[in-house]
Amino acid sequence: MTREPSEKWWKGVFLDASAQIAAGILIAIALALSSHLLNRLTWQSVTYMVYGLAGLALCTGGIKAVKIRKGLTQRGRRYETSRVELPGQESLSSGKNGLDILADESIGATGLHIRIRDTELKASPQVVSNFVHLNTRREAAGLMGYYDAIRYLPVTTPRQRRPDGPYEMDVVRVDYSLIALVNDAASPTSVRESVTQRIDSLSDVDPEIRSEWHEDRVGLLGTQLCVITSDKKILLRKRGANVLFARNRWDVSVSGFCGTVDVDGDSTLNPCLTAEHETLREIGHVRADPRELRLTGVTRNKNTGAFDILMAWQTDTDSSDLMGLLTAKSAQENQVFATDIKAIERYVWDSKNLLVSLNRDDIEFAWHRCDIDVADFEPQSLLCLDLTLKIFANDQEQGFLRQRGVET
Say if residue 97 is in the same domain as residue 17. no
190: Cα separation from own chain's centroid: 34
Which of 254, 252, 272, 255 is closest to 263 using CA atoms? Answer: 272
Say if residue 164 is in the same domain as residue 47. no
Q: How confident is the model at residue 239 (pLDDT cuts 50, 70, 90)?
A: very high
Query: Could you give the C-alpha distances from 57 to 15, 20, 403, in angstroms and in order?
Result: 12, 5, 34
Cα–Cα distance, 254 to 258 (Å, whole number): 12
Say if residue 30 is in the same domain as residue 95. no
Say if residue 15 is in the same domain as residue 101. no
Say if residue 253 is in the same domain as residue 335. yes
| Half-sphere exposure at residue 88, Cβ-oriented, CA atoms within 13 angstroms | 4
| Ramachandran angles phi, psi of 311, nearest 5° | -145, 160
* Residue finishing a domain among 63, 82, 101: 82
Say if residue 61 is in the same domain as residue 104. no
Say if residue 100 is in the same domain as residue 36. no
Cβ neighbours of residue 275 closer than 8 Å, sequence gap 6 or more: 223, 225, 254, 293, 311, 313
Residue 139: inside a domain, yes or no? no
Q: How confident is the model at residue 33 (pLDDT cuts 50, 70, 90)?
A: low
- The CATH number linked to 316 is 3.90.79.10
Say if residue 290 is in the same domain as residue 395. yes
How many independent structural domains does the chain possess? 2
Query: Could you give the C-alpha distances from 335 to 226, 363, 366, 367, 370, in angstroms and in order?
Result: 18, 11, 7, 9, 7
Look at the pTM and tell me if it is higher than 0.85: no
**Average confidence (pLDDT) over 248-272:** 94
- In this structure, the number of other CB atoms found within 10 A of the CB of residue 166 comes to 16
Predicted confidence (pLDDT) per residue in 7-18, tens digit: 444 555 566 656
Residue 166: inside a domain, yes or no? yes
Look up the domain containing 111 and give its range.
91-121+153-171+219-403
Residue 28: inside a domain, yes or no? yes
Residue 142: inside a domain, yes or no? no
Specify the higher pLDDT residue, 311 or 244.
311
Residue 133: inside a domain, yes or no? no
Say if residue 353 is in the same domain as residue 223. yes
Q: What is the pLDDT of residue 408?
A: 34
Cβ neighbours of residue 152 closer than 8 Å, sequence gap 6 or more: 114, 116, 171, 172, 173, 174, 220, 221, 257, 258, 259, 269
Identify the three-state secondary structure at position 202. Answer: coil
* Residue finishing a domain among 82, 106, 133: 82
* Residue finishing a domain among 34, 65, 82: 82
Share of the chain above pLDDT 70, in %: 75
Say if residue 43 is in the same domain as residue 163. no
Say if residue 351 is in the same domain as residue 268. yes
Cα–Cα distance, 117 to 95 (Å, whole number): 33
Say if residue 33 is in the same domain as residue 66. yes
Identify the three-state secondary structure at position 8. Answer: coil
